[in-house]
Amino acid sequence: MKEFVEGSHAIAQIIQACKPGVISAYPITPQTHIVEDLAQIVANGELKAQFVNVESEHSAASVVLGASATGVRVYTATSSQGLFYMQEVVFNIAGMRLPVVMTCANRAISAPINIWNDQQDSISLRDAGWVQIYAEDNQEAVDFHLIAYRLAEDKRVMLPVMVCMDGFILTHGMETLDLPEQDKVNKFLPNYNPLYKLDPAEPISMGLLADPDYYMEARYAIQETMKSSLGYLSEISSEFNAVFGRDYKDLLVEEYQTKDAEKVIVAMGSVCGTIKEVVDEQRAKGKKVGLLRIITYRPFPYARVYEALKDVSRIAVLDKAVSLGAYAPIAVEMKAAFYGKKKGPKVISSFVGGLGGRDITLESIHEVFRRLTAKEVNSDFIDLKPELLKEEYGK
């Protein structure tokens, strides 16, 4: 069913089709349109769900935690400070192995306060035990939510999944989308049937104190499940393709013109659309360039990245987040993927761009390719305004 629709509206519609029993959220820009639409859908009686308006993100995450533990499919969405405010609960949900699905409308972190897009919020929560999947466009954002529920509720997994979509660029962007029909959704995503739940008929205790004799095994189990999930994502992706006719391959990375490439940009999210355009432009001029798009950031697909880029001589990693005082987040993973391996790029340069909604233009991407020389650079900021730096620090 094709529809010209805003990204947030499409997400609300696909969540409706997934039929969560409890939705809880706290408003934060740019997540708001998603939860406003869901509130209206519930108010109209079009979705039989409890919509719990809470006093904070901490409680939004806690409400879905409690509902999920009671055996019900749940949904929440947030951004930026909201994600940080719920961080404690976010870690807790993963530790308790609850299949919560959340949309992160990616937004910059304060200070300075800034409502526009980068990926610092979700990337900062990379160690939480959530699977993190990043959409390039709104069709993916829609489809990834279906895949997220399938993966989260898979008895082999039982981990929460965060679908990350760039704030404003995707959440407020209008595109023509194929919105999955309900009967196909029902076929792909069966009702949630929990392994354990809070039920007086069969009382269990959840969230127990684990002393040094028990704690590590609980964490190890998540680490192992994370590793196995790399394969489950491929399985679910091919089932998705069978039902909906859209092929996301292994769902880990997308290789775009990488086969014979000499220079490849590695990036994540909506900026990859811009990068593809530049790659096409440069390819037309005979330049051997490409893009490796990271789709699944947690678990990180090291082996897949190695296979894709082992014969490329120069890589530019473009991060829309920083680890202040250290290498940029995706750059770290890329270096780890090749360290000690027989093959691999001679240069892995790291660039930081698009922070706080600074536009990454076609020219920005051309500039990244230009700066990708034999001399490796680390956390090299693109699109900086020298005149502002002068004002601040120049003496």
Q: Of 264, 330, 266, give the one whose Cα is nearest residue 297.
A: 330
Q: Considering the complex, what minimum distance in angstroms separates the CB of residue 66 from another protein?
A: 3
Nearer to another protein, 18 or 321 (CB): 18
User: What is the nearest approach in angstroms of another protein to the Cβ of residue 112?
Assistant: 26
Q: Which residues pair with 347 in a beta bridge?
A: 314
Please report which residue ranges of 326-395 form alpha helices under DSSP H: 329-338, 362-371, 386-393
Residue 366 structure tokens: 């051309």
- Which CB, 59 or 171, lies closer to another protein? 59
**Closest-CA residue to 106 (of 383, 384, 356):** 356
291/264 Cα distance (integer angstroms) = 5
Q: State the minimum distance, in angstroms, from the CB of residue 89 to another protein.
A: 7
Size, binding site for another protein by CB under 8 A: 42
Is 55 or 387 the residue whose CB approaches another protein more closely? 55
Measured from the CB of residue 96, what is the shortest distance to another protein in angstroms? 7
CB of 38 to another protein, least distance (A): 14
Binding mask 94-123 for another protein (x = CB under 8 A): --x---------------------------
Q: Taking the complex as a whole, how short is the minimal distance between the CB of residue 269 and another protein, in angstroms?
A: 30
Residue 22 near another protein by CB under 8 A: yes
Residue among 17, 49, 146, 355 that touches another protein (CB under 8 A): 49
The candidate with the shortest Cα–Cα distance to 163, out of 131, 195, 138, 188, is: 131
Least Cβ distance, residue 103 to another protein (angstroms): 18
Minimum distance of another protein from residue 161's CB (angstroms): 18
- CA dist., res. 159 & res. 232, Å (int): 12
- Of the two residues 14 and 47, which places its CB atom closer to another protein in the complex? 47
In b/e form, how buried is each residue of 342-356, taking b as 16+ CB within 10 angstroms? Answer: eebbebbbbbbbbbb
196: Cα separation from own chain's centroid: 27
Residues numbered 192-251 forming contacts with another protein, rule: CB under 8 A? 198-200, 203-211, 214
Nearer to another protein, 56 or 373 (CB): 56
- Token reading at 171: 């959440």
Q: Which of 21, 160, 290, 345: binder of another protein (CB under 8 A)?
A: 21
Binder among 2, 48, 342, 370 for another protein (CB under 8 A) = 48
Q: What are phi and psi of 163, to 5 degrees?
A: -95, 120
Q: Is 22 helix (H, G, I), strand (E, B) or coil?
A: strand
Residues of this chain, 56-85, that bind another protein according to CB under 8 A: 56, 58-59, 62-72, 74
36, 39, 42, 50: which one binds another protein (CB under 8 A)? 50
Work out the angle at residue 303's Cα, subtended by the Cα atoms of residues 93 and 239, and round it to the nearest 5 degrees: 65
Between CA 367 and CA 271, with CA 285 as vertex, the angle to 5 degrees is: 40
Q: Which of 81, 92, 114, 323 binds another protein (CB under 8 A)?
A: 92
Q: Which is nearer to another protein, 40 or 56 (CB)?
A: 56
Residues 6+ apart with CB under 8 A from 284: none
With contact defined as beta carbons under 8 Å apart, do 329 and 123 qualify? yes
Name the 3-class secondary structure at 331: helix
Shortest approach of another protein to residue 199 CB, angstroms?
A: 6
Nearest to 357 by CA among 98, 55, 115: 115
381 binds another protein (CB under 8 A): no
Which of 117, 118, 116, 150 lies closest to 131 in space, CA to CA?
A: 150
Q: Which is nearer to another protein, 111 or 209 (CB)?
A: 209
Q: Which residue type occupies 370?
A: R
The answer to whether 251 touches 296, Cβ cutoff 8 Å, is: yes
Measured from the CB atom, is 42 or 322 closer to another protein?
42
In the complex, least distance from residue 229 CB atom to another protein, rounded to whole angstroms: 23
The residue (of 88 and 363) whose beta carbon lies closer to another protein is 88
Task: List the interface residues with another protein, window 157-196 (CB under 8 A).
Answer: none
Closest CA to 118 of 381, 296, 376: 381
| Interacting residues toward another protein by CB under 8 A | 21-22, 24, 48-50, 52-56, 58-59, 62-72, 74, 88-89, 92, 96, 198-200, 203-211, 214
